[in-house]
Amino acid sequence: VGNCDVMVVNNDGSTTTAFTLSGYVTTQGQAYLSGTTIYGSLAYLDANFTVSYTNIGPFDVSVLDKLINVFLTNGLIPAINTVLK
């Protein structure tokens, strides 16, 4: 479970929180030993994100939720597995 503040830069250079996403990512991992080396793998199971705070009014977060899921499925999890192998 975590939060992500999305900030915007104002004309004067200061920042303002536009909105805050709250969510979770569920994964499953395995670790195994070969000789003296530990290897592992990580599997993506589920993620869900919602808007917990907004300074810009209500909006549908489903598009952001789908983008985050694509990033996790096709980017982050495979990158982690590359390091773990």
Residues 40-59 pLDDT 10s:
999 999 998 999 999 999 88
- With beta carbons less than 8 A apart as the criterion, state whether 23 and 49 touch: yes
Q: Tokens standing for 29?
A: 């991992």
Residue 78: which pLDDT band, with cuts at 50, 70 and 90? very high
Q: What is the mean predicted confidence (pLDDT) over 10-32?
A: 94
pLDDT at 1 over 80: no
- What integer pLDDT is reported at residue 27 of this predicted model? 94
